[in-house]
Amino acid sequence: MNPLLQKAVEQPYCLSRDERIALLSLDDPSELFAAAYEVKRRRTGRSVKLRGLIELGNSCAKDCFYCGIRRSNRQVRRYRIAEADAVRMARWTFERGYGSVVLQSGELESEGNTGYIERIIRSIRDFAGDSFGVTLCLGEQTEAVYRRWLDAGAHRYLLRIETSNPQLYAAIHPAGHSFERRVECLWTLKCLGYQTGTGVMNGLPGQTLGDLADDLEFFRTLDIDMIGMGPYLPHPDTPLGKGIELTPEYAARQLQLGLKMIAAARLYLHDVNIAATTALQALDDRGREQGLLAGANVLMPNVTDVEYRRDYQLYENKPCLDENSEKCRNCLNWRVLSVGEQIDWNNRGDPPHFRRKGIYEAQF
């Protein structure tokens, strides 16, 4: 094996910036993927954790240049799932053994939204107890709001930084979207005791491999527990996506870069949870399975009622628009088995990284 990979398999955090760039530049990444898979296997076994994803609503106060549900996109029919329906979907997720649920929506900061989420979390805790994971993916909020949701029973939060390069961040967001506030939110989440996740898009226009190598360092500096990242995919009704055509060559390049980032993150950080995200599947029917073989250990199957899925399109080519949750469940099981892995049913799937910190704190 390439000595660089050998070193990274044995030891986390040991790759320099140039070495990380070298891994991301490999023409033939098969050895990179194999090395990352070896680390994954040692740290989490040949097992995959599930998070059922509920897309609660698509109204968003933000106007990110890349995102299909941005405020200015008038083509989108806006929806918000009724509380009772959201709780029913979460109960289905629990009863079908998924082990955890993710509540995701556009970014809204209002008492109405805060209370809505709070009540859904409490209802989930009522029927599921503590053994079921509840992750939130609801954007930037005040510390008081994060605290209320934590008190209601959520314990994980995913807030992607999108890119750790402040200049690039500014280029893909309108004025008033603050990089600093996003970073501040991540620190707040950590301080409150959430298992904290972040992530980036890879293959953004203007992004370099150096930026991606720096993203990996950003994950380390924030001592992140989980990572949800994936390739950027153009959406035709957005300023960033308008001129970009999703050709097969473009798709293949984005997929390859997405897989390399997963592998590099696994090799650099070792014991975090890493999701093989839906964006991989949007590029290739077997994109998520490839993600698992490149070092990911989490899948986030959509468990939202099918009637809403079309209205939650962050990017083009979103998969599973018509497959209901039961069908997705069977399909997923088969897909995971097909790469020699097994779903860890009924396990809330805390990242080993967070557990390790817990032990550390208890001992010292």
Residues near 210 by Cβ (< 8 Å), separated by ≥ 6? 17, 21
The position carrying tokens 């402040």 is 166
Q: What residues numbered 50-69 form the site for ligand 5AD, per CB under 6 A?
A: 66-67
Binding of ligand 5AD by 173 (CB under 6 A): no
Question: Radius of gyration of the chain from Cα atoms?
Answer: 19
Structure tokens at 103: 């509540």
Structure tokens at 348: 């809330």
| 85 interface partner picked from ligand FES, ligand 5AD, none, CB below 5 to 8 A per type | none
Cα separation, 306 vs 21, in Å, equals 40
Which residue from 98, 149, 232, 268 is in contact with ligand 5AD, where contact means CB under 6 A?
232
- DSSP secondary-structure letter at 16? -
Residues that bind ligand FES (CB under 6 A): 301, 320, 323, 327-328, 331-332
Kindly state the smallest distance separating residue 234's Cβ from ligand 5AD, in Å: 6
Q: What count of other Cβ atoms lies within 10 Å of the Cβ of residue 187?
A: 11
First CA to last CA distance, the chain: 38
| 332 interface partner picked from ligand 5AD, ligand FES, none, CB below 5 to 8 A per type | ligand FES
Coil vs helix vs strand at 200: strand
| 162 interface partner picked from ligand 5AD, ligand FES, none, CB below 5 to 8 A per type | ligand 5AD
Q: What count of other Cβ atoms lies within 10 Å of the Cβ of residue 65?
A: 18
- Mark the segment that binds ligand 5AD (CB under 6 A) among 17-25, 122-130, 186-194, 226-234: 226-234
C-beta of 34 vs 306, nearer to ligand FES: 306
275 contacts 298 by C-beta, under 8 angstroms: yes
C-beta of 123 vs 302, nearer to ligand 5AD: 302
Binding of ligand 5AD by 219 (CB under 6 A): no
Kindly state the smallest distance separating residue 137's Cβ from ligand 5AD, in Å: 6
197 contacts 225 by C-beta, under 8 angstroms: yes
Which residue from 160, 182, 288, 348 is in contact with ligand 5AD, where contact means CB under 6 A?
160
Cα–Cα nearest to 62, from 160, 135, 186: 160
Binding of ligand 5AD by 162 (CB under 6 A): yes
Cα–Cα nearest to 276, from 88, 48, 28, 19: 48
Binding of ligand 5AD by 298 (CB under 6 A): no
C-beta of 162 vs 211, nearer to ligand 5AD: 162
Kindly state the smallest distance separating residue 344's Cβ from ligand FES, in Å: 17
Task: Please report, as ranges, the residues that interact with ligand 5AD according to CB under 6 A.
Answer: 66-67, 160, 162, 201, 230, 232-233, 235, 279, 314-315
